[in-house]
Structure 1
């Protein structure tokens, strides 16, 4: 029997939903590029349900308990007295989400001698010290592509929200006003702007494809150059490094993984290379940007706007400066956990568990660490090392301290 510890975000403050805004979500059979969606033997949920919160349990309880395994579900993940810490000693498998991450540090690996598998229900395993996972022989897997398109849609929404000054305009309606001049004094057309993505993997490329229709000039930088056919199709300009790209862009969207090479990439020095009045959209990971450098750039006017749904740590303390800095469009980390995406990453989590329990290979595209080294998607996207330092600030979310 295995003990499975599942860390999920809290239920809605109004209670777990008994009905939903829509009766169904579209059925998608393959992702762009041909990768099939998760293929578990079966599922115990209906697509479109809230699966990512504590009561949703990723739809796993019936499956796991039918096999004799123990499932523990909690949202209490931060600090030495958390439920997560108390359950580590005899846990075999940990499941977490990027939106409410269970930070797996060297110290926590040391407290979990039975731990053999860490699953990210979604995409992005930077909340795990990958070097420590390698050291302790823990397999790390995530459900690649499950919410890539979800995130790319969020990116386009945030670009338009910033450039067109949507959020302040909406707020004037709520206040009962009709303040046209106040609304449009920071509103521009996206048409004709130069837009670039840091990384053009599944999310970055999907963003570029969606932006092509807006008649913008598209740029990208990536460690792996796209094919000449794709560059021609989208009329892309390739840059060999981030610095050369940001100098020419009005909008920069960050779509790369967080690892030691990308941590604090957008600091004072990098932001100073950007056009005055440029925008940054970050749905990748909060720690890719220097928190205080972003706030300073918005205060000075070097940046016209910053939007994203990723913070560090997560959840962010109540007085995190990104909550109150000017000209921002921040949301909690929600871009990849739409109800549509939850159906896919919950099914993918079950597929990984089925393979693990049955001794079948986990898909290569799901693997991050395996057999003591980076593997699959991990070898393609990550570097070894630890990007979790500073995670302890997440304990201050409920207290409001900093």
Structure 2
């Protein structure tokens, strides 16, 4: 029941009026007390780690948004392909679309240090888009400074350049375009396996330097057929790699937290290895296909590498920080690792004195496997789709979430 002053008949007795006023005063005091309690409770919840969604909304509030994209510069290559959208100049192909809706879109490659272009926009940006190929490292300190930040998007796959625990505690949404470049990376991994197995690079160097020494190549060139290949991680990329390896008649092994569907496992002809330490010594070739998490960071250290077969080949397109940098370089120098190839380093871009640049028998490249033109078009479309949903307050496809409502996706836990 509610009471409203001024709606009583003039003939009502003074006693009834006094009683009504007393009830109203009592109710008003009660409501004020309840409001104080509720406000206090909300404040307490907002400051607790488990209730971060109360700090920052999952989706956009009305009005113009400031969106910052961090990509690599293409310079003279930008104009060579109209579908080259993953660079600063291409800006994911969404500049006109965003500005036509009244949003501010700033794109830069300058991301490091207190005086960088990115740092200048941290305090008032709403959305930050980055890629694994030229990552904007989003630290807990940056998250603390970014008072308006609501959404962190990865144009591609792999959001470990973000402090995910800090993002979860701050109530941010982190999402990536799951599946956008899995084919690109799996194909690249297969290429790297063949480059290492066939000892391709010394032959290429001979060709460009004018040499001709077949023995210098052939003494360590092998067939892929009959070799044991193990993937550490068999998610989307790992499964695609195993499927592509099947025609080579390899012995295929995989280690993962989840066993794949028996029918798919039978089709591929891969064997599940629950114990990683037992799988590793069996492998002639090891491919890293797991995400970088607190558990996997530095996993392949000196001790783990010592368990590998002498003369093992390693391909790592996952994340550089999964490996102990110096331990890999030392093992390549000693010959324990006969060849190492990948496109991921830590940090990125890799400094000029990074030891992997100078270790023997490597086939390293900059981070390129997941940024083919085909992949760029897929992850650009995915980013646009999520931004559209963000502006409308709609949910993203569930598989795109890395952090949602204070919780990390299972692969990062």
Query: One fold, TM greater than 0.5?
Result: yes
Question: Which residue of structure 1 aligns with residue 405 of structure 2?
Answer: 371
Work out the number of aligned pairs and report it. 350
Matched, 1:206 2:240: yes
Identify the residue that residue 230 of structure 2 maps to in structure 1.
196
Alpha-carbon distance between aligned partners in 1 of 2:186 and 2:91, rounded to the nearest angstrom = 26
* Aligned-partner Cα distance in 2 for 1:125–1:366: 11
- SS in structure 1 of the partner of residue 352 of structure 2: coil
Instruction: Give the SS at the match of 1:329.
Output: strand
What residue in structure 2 maps to residue 382 of structure 1?
412
Residues 81-103 of structure 1: CA distance to partner in whole angstroms, max 9, x if unpaired?
11111110100000000000000
Q: How does 1:55-134 map to 2 (within 5 A)?
A: 55-134=89-168
Instruction: Indicate the residue corresponding to 2:74 in structure 1.
Output: 11
Given the alignment of the two structures, is residue 313 of structure 1 paired with residue 333 of structure 2, yes or no?
A: no
What's the CA shift string for 1:15-65, capped at 9, x where partnerless?
Answer: 422x44xxxxxxxxxxxxxxxxxxxxxxxxx6xx11111100001111110
Q: Is the 8 A contact 1:298 1:305 kept in 2?
A: yes
2:352 and 2:113 map into 1 onto residues whose CA distance is: 16
Determine which of 274, 279, 285 is the counterpart of 1:240: 274
What corresponds to 1:147 in structure 2? 181
Unaligned runs of at least 5 residues, structure 2: 1-63
Question: What is the CA-CA distance between 1:125 and the residue it aligns to?
Answer: 0.4
> C-alpha root-mean-square deviation of aligned residues, in Å?
0.9
Q: CA deviation at 1:241?
A: 2.6
CA distance in structure 2 between the partners assigned to 1:268 and 1:342 by the alignment: 36
Q: What is the TM-score of this pair, normalised by structure 2?
A: 0.84
Equivalence for 1:274 = 308
Match of 2:260, SS state, is: coil
Matches of 1:167 and 1:358, distance apart in 2: 51
Partner of 2:5: none
How far does the alpha carbon of each residue in 1:349-373 deviate from its partner, in whole angstroms, 9 at most, with x for none? Answer: 0000000001111110111111111
Distance between the aligned counterparts of 1:241 and 1:267, measured in 2? Answer: 17
Provide TM-score, normalisation by structure 1. 0.86
Distance 1:222 1:159 in 2: 20
1:163-197 CA-to-partner distances (Å, cap 9, x unmatched) read 10111111100011221111212211111000000
What is the aligned partner in structure 2 of residue 183 from structure 1? 217
| Structure 1 residues without counterparts, runs of 5 or longer | 21-45, 384-402
Q: Which residue of 2 aligns with 1:41?
A: none
More helix as a share of residues: 2
Distance 1:217 1:15 in 2: 41
Residue 295 of structure 1 aligns to a residue whose secondary structure is helix
Query: Residues 199-246 of structure 1, C-alpha deviation per residue, up to 9 Å, x if partnerless?
Result: 110000000000011110000000000121122212212111321111
* SS of the residue 2:211 aligns to: coil
